Amino acid sequence: MLTSGQIDRWLREDIGHHDVTNEVPGDTKGRLVAKQKGVAAGISAAASVFEHLGVSVVSSLENGTPVSAGDVVFETAGPARETLRAERLAVNLAGHASGVATNTRRAVERAQAVDPTVRIAGTRKTTPGLRGIEKRAVVAGGGDSHRLDLSHMVLIKDNHIAEMGLENALETFQKRVSFATNIAVEAESLEAAQRAIETGADIVLLDNFSPDELQTIVESLTTAREQVSQNVLLEASGGITLETLHAYAATGVDIISMGSLTHSASSLDYSFRTD
Amino acid sequence: MLTSGQIDRWLREDIGHHDVTNEVPGDTKGRLVAKQKGVAAGISAAASVFEHLGVSVVSSLENGTPVSAGDVVFETAGPARETLRAERLAVNLAGHASGVATNTRRAVERAQAVDPTVRIAGTRKTTPGLRGIEKRAVVAGGGDSHRLDLSHMVLIKDNHIAEMGLENALETFQKRVSFATNIAVEAESLEAAQRAIETGADIVLLDNFSPDELQTIVESLTTAREQVSQNVLLEASGGITLETLHAYAATGVDIISMGSLTHSASSLDYSFRTD
Amino acid sequence: MLTSGQIDRWLREDIGHHDVTNEVPGDTKGRLVAKQKGVAAGISAAASVFEHLGVSVVSSLENGTPVSAGDVVFETAGPARETLRAERLAVNLAGHASGVATNTRRAVERAQAVDPTVRIAGTRKTTPGLRGIEKRAVVAGGGDSHRLDLSHMVLIKDNHIAEMGLENALETFQKRVSFATNIAVEAESLEAAQRAIETGADIVLLDNFSPDELQTIVESLTTAREQVSQNVLLEASGGITLETLHAYAATGVDIISMGSLTHSASSLDYSFRTD
Amino acid sequence: MLTSGQIDRWLREDIGHHDVTNEVPGDTKGRLVAKQKGVAAGISAAASVFEHLGVSVVSSLENGTPVSAGDVVFETAGPARETLRAERLAVNLAGHASGVATNTRRAVERAQAVDPTVRIAGTRKTTPGLRGIEKRAVVAGGGDSHRLDLSHMVLIKDNHIAEMGLENALETFQKRVSFATNIAVEAESLEAAQRAIETGADIVLLDNFSPDELQTIVESLTTAREQVSQNVLLEASGGITLETLHAYAATGVDIISMGSLTHSASSLDYSFRTD
Amino acid sequence: MLTSGQIDRWLREDIGHHDVTNEVPGDTKGRLVAKQKGVAAGISAAASVFEHLGVSVVSSLENGTPVSAGDVVFETAGPARETLRAERLAVNLAGHASGVATNTRRAVERAQAVDPTVRIAGTRKTTPGLRGIEKRAVVAGGGDSHRLDLSHMVLIKDNHIAEMGLENALETFQKRVSFATNIAVEAESLEAAQRAIETGADIVLLDNFSPDELQTIVESLTTAREQVSQNVLLEASGGITLETLHAYAATGVDIISMGSLTHSASSLDYSFRTD
Amino acid sequence: MLTSGQIDRWLREDIGHHDVTNEVPGDTKGRLVAKQKGVAAGISAAASVFEHLGVSVVSSLENGTPVSAGDVVFETAGPARETLRAERLAVNLAGHASGVATNTRRAVERAQAVDPTVRIAGTRKTTPGLRGIEKRAVVAGGGDSHRLDLSHMVLIKDNHIAEMGLENALETFQKRVSFATNIAVEAESLEAAQRAIETGADIVLLDNFSPDELQTIVESLTTAREQVSQNVLLEASGGITLETLHAYAATGVDIISMGSLTHSASSLDYSFRTD
């Protein structure tokens, strides 16, 4: 959900103090058209830019729909000036979000070809101001949003453990947050992972391991997961790319999180055409 | 220049209502470190996030400086809680902007190897909310910001010409904008380009031509440029990529603009380390 | 964490266009003093109002500290005009948040006298604009923040179940949200609760039951909890007051959530005194 | 009058980055229903939340109307998703404001049973961000808003008098503010009150006196009020509660101001029901 | 008091996305110097622009101080880049506000030469976004701010009286607003003015009368004012200019309000000089 | 284009917390009427205030249209309360902007009577928050907006030249800004002007010369302009008033810029009338 304040700021940023070429009278119709194969996302955000300026949007595709070159994403009808002013921002939003969704879909397909149950998740490495749009684009691409902000899930990191001790850290944070909040614990070794499971972590984060190391750890943890907590999830992260994803997916981890889903996606190409 | 409102909104987006893991007492020192070779940008933006929270920043590199893995971009000193809260946003900003600058530097080098005078320019295809940061990152990478917003330069497009006629459109917009504002005219053919030059365009935009077509047009325009306007600039655009850039740079155009500089740059990898 | 935009808006609201009585030159010292027994909260928020106006704050109590009449919460030093302008807003914030914390502490004590493991949780019935402050005040009072916003935890309600079926609803929402997000299911009967547990709910919400009904349900669910999911939590809600809390705490539920913690707390009395 | 920025911020606060359970297609009708006896307020604010999201509101009660359990306050019609997203915020606003109005009505009735001409007034002890809504709720409950902000009326306090002298303070502030602005003077004794009246105060504030002391002062001031200023008003304040209100109302003061009207009102219970 | 949000927006408006000429390293000192005789106002606003950017301001004159060409209003010290960026906005604010103050001083002097007790007041005809600054500038010039906003004082206009009747309108609005709020009544004739006084108006507004008509009315009202209300004030308004002010000041009214004080003041000339 | 945030802030500024006199039920029609001869501007801004509150606007004049007393600028239809609340802000905006346009038209006519090709331009001396509205008003009056913000055009000033040398400064800034950005150079003498032209300045700013000095410089530059750059423009500025404009227009400069167009325009008188 975009706020009117956000849309206003973004339009202002693109229009400046004195835009003359869009001072066009009358009404016009237009359509947002994909110029490339990919996964549509940011569509409701793009539509809301037009609607914010009094241009109506009809027959919109849903976020997550696959598109090919030539597909019409939605159609608009309304005042020409406002339509033209909304165009660039709307295309930029849809292109950016769809790039993230397409990027995610690619990763999900590659990983699930190896292990159909593994989840591909985003991170907090998102573009400032676009957290919500990018997280929803990851979901549109079949990925997992991962934690939405620092308050959504607690992550106990190395430095917390070094300073407070694992058990103490877990207990301390459990008291400070709600039952509604899961707690992930970063583990630097198999032993650390076992202790984290025993202490009640909801997720164990295995950061910067090689696929081989990971596989050994995951296998060694089988008993602990069966006996102590069937629900605990194992997450791998740390510089995992489309190229290495295959090997990570084969390790048996439940979740693979990749910053590149959001911070390094190429935009999907759209054009907006008026009649 | 980031406003405090912007920084506040971005911090809020990342922190949420109840962040507990960064509730750390005391002071700490930290440093922003490059983990990858590239061009630094967004550095003053990243620094201003720390400063906004009362953390001081020292010994900062300038935007546009080349960095290698391990280079320290700046150092921080101040309250631990605020340092930790600023970290993710600062890294995201620096990584994003430096990705744009690095991407631009690559394009500039490739093009200027062919024609040392050609300018590589950005477009309005920027990430909503980050127009200024991305434009300055393009400049940090050795590129040309191109027009900053719709009010900065007028672009007379096909549809204006179709509706108003070229000469009429140019005259109309010249009256409505300042002497401070340049006017670019999109030309769909050599003839159109010649008329645009004769009518007084400051820039002629040649969109979606092949390198061969472009070269023919540029050569044919030589006389017009010498006789009519030595200042008129020729700009090529339309799906030009790092792969095809070489051929476009050889055509003799003055400016090559590429949306991909901003909308499809991969983030540059940074980490923030506290002592 | 209050943003400067928020503090500015709140100060503006109280000061108006032309405040003359606080136009006092020079510096002054002041202190925030409790006039009533209770639990301090909103203290860092109150302090940040002074700091926003360039008044420094020293020796601050931590949120959650019990206070008695006469206790100094923090001291200030700085320009008299800014100190006086910050005063009312700071007192209003501290009074409101401390009222919520004190109210929560009372409920927690009453409930835990019966069952030391039961959690008293807030709800989304918070004052618009003060969600974060009130949630942190609930925590300061020994309570559980419950979900911070709609994105923090999914609650599957009666109407979702009526429309989609329980299993289908749970599966659908599990796909749309992250592994980081817990899912609560509202259950209207023992059978519904059992099915929710079997389908994998993280929390079962038992809304509007009497203590007797609740106790029967909780006991009947013992086997399911042992066999199917040791982690599933049972939450009671629906018009539970300080008067009836005792009976609900005796039912064996894990969580009792009460809107009145935030929406009906009386302010705790503070005064701000300058020298 | 709520601004769109305010409503946006409040919705954002409740919805977060990725709300899935309200992603419901189609239209729906709903109604806001009182679940408790009281005085309706905040109704136009609650309605404007729905309207902001494109949901229309019909047959709305006016602020200040008494309601009983089951009374429909207004009905809504529009997109289901937006209706569900508006619901919680709208109920929170109406509940909070109606709680203030109901609380005020109770105080007004109690006081006016003793002296039908006495006014019950609010203070600046309002919830940050809700000044306007709470002031209008006090009025809806039959109370007096008192000064809306520091610029609305000047209050000359003890410390002003100590520093500047009463006559000097009054004269100084009269020069700095408009004829449109009334001036109240705090009086710590009968003599101070007499001097304030003679110097031209519009209101004399008698803070922290017992009912007996007050009555003596009010009676002693009768002559001054008749001879010097028939318009001067006497206001009592300072920890006056519903329990002690009776005694204060009997003293003959014109105005009794109570912070508890706004800072310690319990929310009035509403529910929002969709078909 | 300017908020940081306001200053940020104003700086953004002047700076745009990519300002290069002020990218100056190091520190600098500067001073704001009057280039013209007049009355200083907006000085604290101008100073706060520098301070917002981390530039310190010393030895500032107070608002309301008469200045001559060459007078230093304040001095600055701090980073050169920020100093240069603040300059234009600060000068614009000080020039605008001082223009209003100087304009007001001129009117006050002209009127008080005729009647030393008459007040010259502003109106609501202020520049959008600058209400507070302009009102305080009127006061700095020796004028009366008049009502600050619609909530500060009630004005019962012709159309209210036509629809509701004078007595009814007055009574209705008295009930809806605080004792803290004065009520002015517009009177179209001597009789209307008399009734307004008898009904309890605090101010009688005599709009669009000639000086002669006004004088007759004022004299005829002497008895009513003596017998009914010694406090009631008579206000003249309606196209009164510096040229006609003399005649209006001679009529005996208490207040003369002039929109031109704020909406038609010429800026006072300042320059900002760095060393 | 006004944003909803701007309109909201401006309405809030005028309305305050508790406006009662505009609480009028039902619908009304109204019209904005000129009371004075001049040039209409700010009309779309004024209209957008009504539209923002749900009041429709019809038959609106275009910005730049000459108006006489009695001319209807636009008509409104919609809820009475919102119409009345929008009125003052809309009139203030239209009056202010039309004052600027009228002021500009007067200057343009006076200058073009002497030299029909000379352009009258605004400056950055605009009212904070109204840059866009005032720039568009200058254009509506037949003037030239001049640079819209610091990023629109580079101005190399005395101090840049003193520090960096003219050629170096020009080269440095040319590298940092886009081909889309013109560069003006301030010249303190004929020789400086010649060098600026030779170095490639787009505009030469001749600040604070007398008309006689200017004329000599302009004539002496004829050859340089013919040989070096036919496009270079000469701009005069520095305390030029309506009284001295005639002499400056006769010097042959291309542009005369006047801060007084915006910072010292008297408002044009409008009234808003409801039926």
| pLDDT tens per residue, range B34-91 | 999 999 999 999 999 999 999 999 988 999 999 999 999 999 999 999 999 999 999 9
User: In this predicted structure, which of A254-268, B213-227, D232-246 has the lowest mean pLDDT?
Assistant: B213-227
Q: What local confidence, expressed as pLDDT, does residue C275 receive? A: 80
Report the alpha-carbon distance of residue F112 to residue F64 in Å, rounded.
Answer: 17
**pLDDT classification of D60: cutoffs 50, 70, 90:** confident
Residues D123 and D206 in one domain: yes
pLDDT tens column, E64-112? 999 999 999 999 999 999 999 999 999 999 999 999 999 999 999 999 9
Partner-chain contact B149 A15, CB within 8 Å: yes
If pLDDT is split at 50, 70 and 90, which confidence band does F228 have?
A: confident
Same domain, yes or no: C144 and C240? yes
CA distance E194 to chain C (A): 32
**Distance (Å, rounded) from C-alpha B22 to C-alpha C136?**
14
Any idea what the CATH number is for the domain that residue F215 is in?
3.20.20.70
Mean pLDDT of D193-219: 95
- A6, two tokens: 């956000």
Torsion of CA F204, F207, F213, F215, to 10 degrees: 50
Same domain, C34 and C158: no
Q: Which residues of C116-140 are buried (b: 16+ CB within 10 A; e: fewer)?
A: eebbbbbbbbbbbbbbbbbbbbbbb
Determine the residue of chain A that is closest to E9 in CA distance: A9
Model confidence at F72: pLDDT above 90: yes
Nearest alpha carbon to residue C32 among C12, C54, C49, C16:
C49
Q: Average model confidence (pLDDT) for chain E?
A: 95
Confidence (pLDDT) at B170: 92
pLDDT of C216 above 90: yes
Q: Taking residues C170-190, what's their average pLDDT?
A: 95
Q: String of b and e for B159-182 (b: at least 16 CB within 10 Å)?
A: ebbeeeebeebbebbeebbbbbbb
What's the pLDDT at D226?
83
Residues B95 and B16 in one domain: yes
Scan residues 12-41 of E and list those with Cβ closer than 8 Å to A. 13, 16-17
Question: Residue A78 has what pLDDT?
Answer: 97
Measure C261 CA to nearest chain A CA, in Å. 15
Share of chain F above pLDDT 70, in %: 100
Average pLDDT over residues D210-222: 95
Give the mean pLDDT of chain B. 95
Contact D141, D100 (CB under 8 A): yes
Which of the four pLDDT bands, split at 50, 70 and 90, describes residue D51? very high
pLDDT at residue B184 in the model: 97
- Helix or strand (DSSP H, E) at A219: helix A211-220
| Residue E43 pLDDT grade (very low, low, confident, very high; cuts 50, 70, 90) | very high
Q: What was the pLDDT predicted at B101?
A: 98
Q: Do B264 and A150 touch (CB under 8 A)?
A: no
Closest chain D residue by Cα to residue B9: D9
User: What is the C-alpha to C-alpha distance for residues C147 and A148, in angstroms, rounded to an integer?
Assistant: 13
Tens digits of per-residue pLDDT, B94-152?
A: 999 999 999 999 999 999 999 999 999 999 999 999 999 999 999 999 999 999 999 99
Q: Residue E145 and residue D233: Cβ atoms within 8 Å? A: no
Same domain, F127 and F224: yes
Q: Nearest C-alpha of chain F: how many angstroms from C206?
A: 42
User: What is the full DSSP assignment across chain B?
Assistant: ---HHHHHHHHHHHH-S---TT---SEEEEEEEE-SSEE--SHHHHHHHHHHTT-EEESPPPTT-EE-TT-EEEEEEEEHHHHHHHHHHHHHHHHHHHHHHHHHHHHHHHHHHH-TTPEEE--S---TT-HHHHHHHHHHTT-B---SSTTTSEEE-HHHHHHH-HHHHHHHHHHHS-TTB-EEEE-SSHHHHHHHHHHT-SEEEEES--HHHHHHHHHHTHHHHHHT-SS-EEEEESS--TTTHHHHHTTT-SEEE-THHHHTPPPPPEEEEE-
- CB neighbours of residue A159 within 10 Å: 14
Encode pLDDT of A229-253 as tens digits: 778 999 999 989 999 999 999 999 9
Assess whether B216 and B129 both reside in one domain: yes
pLDDT of residue A264: 95
Tokens of E80: 């050169």
Instruction: Verify that A156 and A251 share a domain, yes or no.
Output: yes
Contact assignment for E156 to F18 by CB distance below 8 Å? no
Predicted confidence at residue C101, as pLDDT, reads: 98
Closest by CA to A55, choosing from A20, A21, A7, A99, is A7
Cβ neighbours of E225 (radius 10 Å): 18
Tell me the C-alpha distance between E109 and E54, whole Å. Answer: 39
Cα angle vertex A149, ends C126, A129, to 5°?
100
What Rg do the C-alpha atoms of chain C give, in angstroms? 22
Measured between CB atoms, does C10 come within 8 Å of chain D? Answer: yes
> Are E124 and E249 found together in one domain?
yes
The Cα–Cα gap between B249 and B255 comes to 9
Q: What is the pLDDT of residue E92?
A: 98
State which H helix or E strand residue D205 sits in. Answer: strand D203-207
From the candidates C119, C152, C154, C178, which should be mutated to test the interface with A, based on the most A CB atoms within 10 A?
C178
- pLDDT per position as a tens digit, C134-158: 999 999 999 999 999 999 999 999 8
Residue, of A168 and C229, whose pLDDT is higher: A168
Task: Provide the residue range defining the domain that includes E52.
Answer: 4-107+265-274
Non-local CB neighbours of A270 within 8 Å, separated by 6+ positions: A32, A33, A34, A35, A73, A91, A94, A95, A98
Of D3, D4, D132, the CB nearest to F17: D132
Q: Show which of residues 57-86 on chain C sit within 8 Å of chain E, judged by CB atoms.
A: 85
What is the predicted pLDDT for the residue at D256? 98
Q: Which pLDDT band, with edges at 50, 70 and 90, does B250 fall under?
A: very high
Residues 6+ apart with CB under 8 A from F91: E125, F32, F46, F270, F271, F272
C-alpha dihedral (E186, E191, E196, E200), degrees to nearest 10: 160
The structure tokens 């410089």 sit at F217
Per-residue pLDDT band at F231 (split at 50, 70, 90):
confident
What is the predicted pLDDT for the residue at B59? 81
**Annotation says F125 is catalytic:** yes
Q: What is the pLDDT of residue C113?
A: 98
* pLDDT number for residue A84: 96
Task: Report the alpha-carbon distance of residue B21 to residue A92 in Å, rounded.
Answer: 35
Give strand pairing partners of E271.
E33
Q: Which of C208-212, D73-77, D224-228 has the lowest mean pLDDT?
A: D224-228
Given this model, what pLDDT does residue A180 score? 97
Confidence band for A159, pLDDT divided at 50, 70 and 90 = confident
Phi, psi of A225 (to 5 degrees): -65, -35
Residues D119 and D252 occupy one common structural domain: yes
Q: What is the mean pLDDT of residues D157-178?
A: 92
Are the beta carbons of F22 and E150 separated by less than 8 Å?
Answer: yes
Give mean pLDDT, residues E31-45. Answer: 97
D136 Cβ under 8 Å from any chain F Cβ: yes
Q: Are residues A129 and A34 in the same domain?
A: no
pLDDT for C223: 84
* C contact chains, 3+ CB pairs < 8 A: A, B, D, E, F
Cα–Cα distance, B258 to B267 (Å, whole number): 17
> What ipTM was predicted for this assembly?
0.96
Is residue D144 very low, low, confident or very high in pLDDT (cuts 50, 70, 90)? Answer: very high
* 8 Å CB contact between F104 and F143: yes
Residue in C with minimal Cα distance to E5: C5
> Is residue E240 very low, low, confident or very high in pLDDT (cuts 50, 70, 90)?
very high
Q: What is the pLDDT of residues A133-154, one digit of tens each?
A: 999 999 999 999 999 999 999 9
Instruction: Out of B5, B17, B85, name the one closest to residue C5 (CB).
Output: B5
- CATH number for the domain that contains residue B21: 3.90.1170.20
Quick: pLDDT tens for C260-269: 999 999 999 9
What share of chain B has pLDDT > 90, as a percent?
Answer: 92
Residue C227 has pLDDT above 90, yes or no: no
Nearest residue in A to D9, CA atom:
A3
Contacts D1 to F, Cβ<8 Å = 11-12, 15, 19, 85
With vertex at residue D153, the alpha carbon angle to CA C31 and CA C36, rounded to the nearest 5 degrees, is: 30
Backbone angles phi, psi at A57, to 5 degrees: -120, 130
Whole-number Å distance between alpha carbons of A45 and A4: 11
Please check whether residues C57 and C122 belong to one and the same domain.
no
User: Which of A181, A215, A176 has its CA nearest to residue A201?
Assistant: A181
Res. F230: pLDDT tops 80: no
How close A5 gets to chain D, by Cα (Å)? 6
The span from the CA of D190 to the CA of D196, in Å, is 10
Q: Are residues B140 and B236 in the same domain?
A: yes
Q: How many folded domains does chain A comprise?
A: 2
For residue A225, the model assigns a pLDDT of 85
Check residue F179 and report its DSSP letter: T
pLDDT class for D1, splitting at 50, 70, 90? confident
Q: Which residue of B has its CA nearest to D17?
A: B13
